Structure 1
Amino acid sequence: MIIYVQNKAFPHKTFVASAKPSDKVARVRAQLLHILYELGKDDHLFRLRYKGQMLRDAFTLQDYEIADNAILTMMPVGKSQEMLMEICSVSSSQFSFDIHGQPANVKNALEAEIQTFDLREKMVVNFKALLNVHLLFVFLSMMTVHWYSVFWLFVCWLLGVWFVPTYSRIGGFVGNTSHLKIQFCIGVLVVSVACLAATLYFCISGWIFVASGDCSHWVESGHCTHKKIYTASFFTLHALILILTIVMGAFMLKNFGVDVGDFIERFLVQERNIEQVMAMARNGKVKEKRAAAYDLAAMAASSEDNKFRIVAEGGLDVLTTMALSRDEVIQEHAVEALAELLTIPSIQDTFVESGGVRTLSAVLHSPVPRVMQEAAYALYTIVADSEENKHAVVEDHGLDDLVHAAHEGTILCQRTVASIFLELIFNAEIRAQIASRNTPTQALVQLCKTNDPDTLRFSLQSLEVLAIESADLICAQENLMELLLDLPFRTMDEKLLLLAGKILLYYAENRETCEQLLSHTQARDTLDLFGKTRDAILQKVTVKIIFCCLEYPDLKAKAKHAGMKDVLQYIRDHAADKETWDMAEQSLQLYSSPDDLSGLPTLSTLEKLSKMESKQGKLSGSQSSLGSNTRKDAI
């Protein structure tokens, strides 16, 4: 697949890299290093970002759900070039930097690859020249005693000319047969060996004849002719040419097996000396701690073994301290490393017991968006994997810190915070605690203003569960009603519309908010859009909302004035199932009769939720969706 890479340092250039989904990010970075080498900028230190996520070298493109034609951004490692040079000057012994800023072993690997590709270009050119020599031997073979050899020599030459690849170090392989380069080398070896066998037979038999009989004195007489002497000499030279062809074919086969990044990749994802890195993290100066924090984040992302090794060296305490550093670079990479470590449940328990959650909550107030985002994701891993650890997140001022991140965070941070609230609300005790306060609910309402569908889904699901806990709390959110009524004009996702409809039902069941609902200018249009969906549950919810408005005599006139009858008629005429038709038909009867419509199924909120869909299945679905999407999106 093709990947495009942008960089503000090169405003007029968009780099292009080719990769497979199973390739590591380090492979793409290696290709970019080759491009930068051609521009004379191979000392440029960078990391890759996709949809706000910093990509780790040890992860694959498939891990980040990077598809064909994706656009990545090349980001410098730090806040300024001076800061980069400080980091580069103090890395570990296995990852030392030279004065140009690029790691010495990475730079050496880059130069080794460039030499390999330069050699490849020369070998391809020389092999094409060798094919011209073979063509000469094709014509010369017609003058030998074994003139019929011209047929297979010509066929072999023709196939070689047809399938020989074209290569340049900058442009790579080109041509219709370039994808068969390995098969071509194997074919060259097989055909050359076969031809060599025939040539050696002709060569040996020819010289045996020359060395005996009439040609023993090298004088033409009898059966000894110049043609037979020429034949023996020809096949001797041809055998040498074929041996040279076999040698070149073997070297090309080995060389063609090297791809861009084969040498560089292992140095980009190599393991550092953890003891040395931890020593720098504990006792080093600011620039040394920057390098240590970066190394710890890279090591933690590389493997689970590294995670446990870091923890065994006391890394949790060190990283917790570094996460509170006033240096933004140290803080950013320390929180990034913590987020990686906390993906292991056993490490989470140790971290929570040591009081590290308070540190992460405090970091949510960081002015650096990436630091806030990484802290939010680290908290999500804690609440998603352990029911016991959820209480640690809401202790002290944890809810207030989440509210702050909901208001001030980036889109990705808000998505993560919304998912944290949803996970917390699953816990009955925490749900009661959240329902007893207004600020968390207001934060969820704030998150409903986003256009990000995942954030909207998590927020609406949280509000729906909160409504079951305390309907009055939801009805007190006046801004929420307006956001819910406006939702069909922002998205046509029926799942989101269903969540909005269920929450609006709580407003309809309250006498005061029901009047506000009918007075809203968008109420009729919104319910009309709800009714025009083919979702049977959403149609039932829409009918129930209107019916609740008709239950109050003074509001019945407002409902008629708002044109709710048209909505009911449409739902009746386009009902998704019989129950929906019955509910719409009986609601329409209320317009022409003042009697109470006792026959209409008046489901309570809890009964309605239970009947319309399995709540537990829905919540489990949201959790599984979150587990598969949030990690890649949140980093």
Structure 2
Amino acid sequence: MLLYVQSKSFPHKTFVVKCKTTDTIARVRAHMLYSLYDMGRVQHQFRFRYKGQYLRDPYTMEECKIVDHAVITMVPMAKRQESLVDLQQRLMESTDDLDPAHELDLGKGQTDEVMRALEKEMKIFTGREKMLAGLEGLLTAQMMLILLAVFTHYWYSIFWCGLFWLYGYLRCPKYSRVGGFTGIAGLKRKQFCVVYGIMSLINFGISLGLGIYTAHNLMSLQCPSYPTELGTGCTHAEVYTAGYFFLHALVMLSSSILTWVILHNFKYEVGDLIEKALVLTRDVEKVLEAARNGKVKERRTAAYEMATMAASGDDNKFRIVAEGGLELLIAMGLSTDAATQEYSTEAMAELLTVPAIQDKFVEMGGIRTLTAVLHAKDQRVVKEAATALSYIVSDSEENKPAIVADHGLEDLCHAARHGGKDVQSIVSGVFLELAFNPDIRAQMASLNSPSQALVHLCRSSDTDTQRFALQTLELLAIESSSTIAAQEELLEYLLSLPVHSMDTRLYLLAGKILLYFTETQESCEHLLDSDRLKDTLLQFSRTSDLVLQKVTAKIILALIDTPHLLMRAKHLGFQDIFLHIRNHALDRDAWNMADQGLALMQSEHAHKAAKGIMGSQGSLKDKGRGSFSSARSQSTASLDRGARPS
């Protein structure tokens, strides 16, 4: 497959990388290091981004869902402006006891291991280019020897030597370090080396045998120092034949040896050594040492390498923690260098996928770092911090209180209001997980900011974000209906939901929350003042959801609890909704509620009848008890552990 790599650092150049679906991101980075080496920019620090997601070195093209002819972006690890800001800060913070040269040096780009691997690969592939050029030179020498074979006693050797030379000439692969293999011959290069090497040995044996045989004949004839064609058995042709075949044997032996060396060289592919240097070979102790005492770029690279190592497997995660890397990452998460902060937060998110590490992380006070990072300007950093928090709340009930401590709820609310789409999706899931804890739910319900943040999340364009936010609001409404009923923006959103969405699951959640807006007569009057109420409830009743039909009927029954409200509802035509539910009821309870609601609206003694219906259905005024208990139990059941976000 072919990949096209673009970068703002090189606006007039598009890099083309040839790879396989099983290749890792690290191998593609190795290809790019080759290109940067030729351009003199090998110290340029970068990573890849595809469809808005940053790619990590251990993952393959297939795992990242990268298709053929995809366009990926090469992003610098830190913008030049950030490096200059960091330089200025270090100048201002420098003291007399610090070495100024050390403070001003931002450090090198690539690590020593990567540079050594790159230089070694360069030697391997430069040597390959030279060896194949040498093999072509030997093929030229063979062609000349074939022409000279006609002057030997064994002139017919030109036939097998000619066939051997023709095979080598047609099948010899063409290679350059910059362009790689060219032509069809490069596809079967290993097969060529094996066949050509064996044929060279055979030709070497034949030529050596003919040379020895001819030399033996010359020695047995005891030729004088200057043989002539007359008077002796030795001729110039015999001397020429012996010398020719010894020379031909030497060329064949050289060709065979060179071919086997080239075959050994062919086992190396671009990125074999660099990939190990990028992913596997770095010692944790060296990485942590660079993170503690290195310069800006070295700390940045160390943070990136820890994120890469953590993504490679659980063994590396435990090695990092055992060597003190977790505490170091918590400190680096508050770095003034945006890139270092991003990669250290990414590394923490990778480590926190293991529940055992989560407990130690919470004990070290790492939650405070993650919640502080939620205020970062870079959305990538905020996303990684939110992701790390989501791992903690989903795996451990004991660690949830640590998240809401020290103004953690306010930090989450800030991320919900100012974060991007991805951040909001993660934060909405975190809120939902926290709301399942009774103590935390009570704390959230006692504050106004979580409800406001959740209302803001409801307006997201992502359906899952809306659903998680509405589920959390429903749980908070069960805890404190007055807090939810005070959210004017929430009511506006719930009533306008059918205009923006066709999702029945959202309709059901919206209907359940609307029940809590019917707690008082004032709120019921406010609902009836809305022009959208009837259309919204009519849309709810037209769905094929059984529970939503019942919830819609209960909302209207609560609205007509007094004669005054009953007359207003009748004037607005709410009996049409009851009529539709009765005609399309999915079970007997829905039919009964719709029928009794119609009877209420048609009764001459509305107030007395309303009280009778309320008594038969259970008091609608006390939503936490009576008739609404079933609706709320269904609400809670729909939000059990199985319905939580992954």
TM-score, normalising length from structure 2?
Answer: 0.72
Residues 619 and 142 of structure 1, relative CA distance in 2, 3 Å threshold: farther
Say which one has the larger Rg. 2
Residues 270-279 or 71-80, more deviating: 270-279
| C-alpha distance in 2 between matches for 1:423 and 1:129 | 72
In structure 1, what is the equivalent of residue 192 of structure 2? 187
Structure 2 residue 306 is matched with structure 1 residue 299: yes
Residues 388 and 140 of structure 1, relative CA distance in 2, 3 Å threshold: same
- Deviation string 1:394-449 (CA, Å, 9 cap, x unpaired) is 22422122112211233333233222112212323322332333321221121122
Unaligned runs of 5+ in 2: 91-97, 99-104, 561-565, 604-608, 619-625
| C-alpha distance in 2 between matches for 1:225 and 1:585 | 125
AA of the residue aligned to 1:169: R
* Mapping for residues 448-467 of structure 1, pairs under 5 Å: 448-467=458-477
AA of the residue aligned to 2:642: S
In structure 1, what is the equivalent of residue 75 of structure 2? 74
| Residues 218 and 238 in structure 2, CA contact (< 8 A), matched pair in contact too | no
* Mapping for residues 39-118 of structure 1, pairs under 5 Å: 39-50=39-50, 55-58=55-58, 66=66, 68=68, 69=70, 71-77=72-78, 79-82=81-84, 101-118=109-126
| C-alpha distance in 1 between matches for 2:494 and 2:74 | 35
How far did residue 337 of structure 1 move?
Answer: 4.7
Unaligned runs of 5+ in 1: 91-96, 573-577, 627-635
Question: What is the Cα-based RMSD across aligned positions, in Å?
Answer: 5.2
Q: Secondary structure at the match of 2:273?
A: coil
| C-alpha distance in 2 between matches for 1:103 and 1:279 | 10
State the identity as a percent: 38
| Residues 211 and 244 in structure 2, CA contact (< 8 A), matched pair in contact too | no
Structure 2 residue 521 is matched with structure 1 residue 498: no
Residues 324 and 116 of structure 1, relative CA distance in 2, 3 Å threshold: closer
| C-alpha distance in 2 between matches for 1:589 and 1:162 | 93
AA of the residue aligned to 1:117: F
How far did residue 119 of structure 1 move?
Answer: 3.2
Residues 227-236 or 266-275, more deviating: 227-236
How far did residue 293 of structure 1 move?
Answer: 6.5
How far did residue 607 of structure 1 move?
Answer: 4.7
| Residues 524 and 563 in structure 1, CA contact (< 8 A), matched pair in contact too | no
| C-alpha distance in 1 between matches for 2:255 and 2:341 | 59
Residues 291 and 543 of structure 1, relative CA distance in 2, 3 Å threshold: same
Structure 2 residue 262 is matched with structure 1 residue 260: no
Residues 562 and 264 of structure 1, relative CA distance in 2, 3 Å threshold: farther
| C-alpha distance in 1 between matches for 2:416 and 2:643 | 23
* Mapping for residues 204-603 of structure 1, pairs under 5 Å: 204=209, 207-208=212-213, 211-212=216-217, 216=221, 238-269=248-279, 270-272=281-283, 274=285, 277=288, 281=292, 288=295, 291-292=298-299, 295-296=302-303, 298-299=305-306, 301-303=308-310, 304=314, 307-308=317-318, 311-312=321-322, 314-324=324-334, 331-332=341-342, 334-470=344-480, 473-484=483-494, 494=503, 497-507=504-514, 511=518, 536=544, 539-541=545-547, 543-544=549-550, 546-548=552-554, 551=557, 552=560, 553-554=566-567, 557=570, 560=573, 579=586, 594=602
| Residues 197 and 260 in structure 2, CA contact (< 8 A), matched pair in contact too | no
Q: Secondary structure at the match of 1:74?
A: strand
How far did residue 344 of structure 1 move?
Answer: 3.5
How far did residue 389 of structure 1 move?
Answer: 0.7
| Residues 352 and 391 in structure 2, CA contact (< 8 A), matched pair in contact too | yes
Residues 165 and 489 of structure 1, relative CA distance in 2, 3 Å threshold: farther
Residues 200 and 194 of structure 1, relative CA distance in 2, 3 Å threshold: same
Number of equivalenced pairs: 593
| C-alpha distance in 2 between matches for 1:562 and 1:515 | 17
TM-score, normalising length from structure 1?
Answer: 0.73
Residues 73 and 130 of structure 1, relative CA distance in 2, 3 Å threshold: same
Q: Secondary structure at the match of 1:10?
A: coil
| C-alpha distance in 2 between matches for 1:220 and 1:464 | 119
AA of the residue aligned to 2:82: S
Higher relative CO (CA 8 A, sep ≥ 6), structure 1 or 2? Answer: 1
| Residues 528 and 569 in structure 2, CA contact (< 8 A), matched pair in contact too | no
AA of the residue aligned to 1:80: E
Structure 2 residue 18 is matched with structure 1 residue 8: no
| Residues 45 and 76 in structure 1, CA contact (< 8 A), matched pair in contact too | yes
| C-alpha distance in 1 between matches for 2:108 and 2:286 | 26
- Deviation string 1:178-208 (CA, Å, 9 cap, x unpaired) is 4x2xx43233323441463266247526753
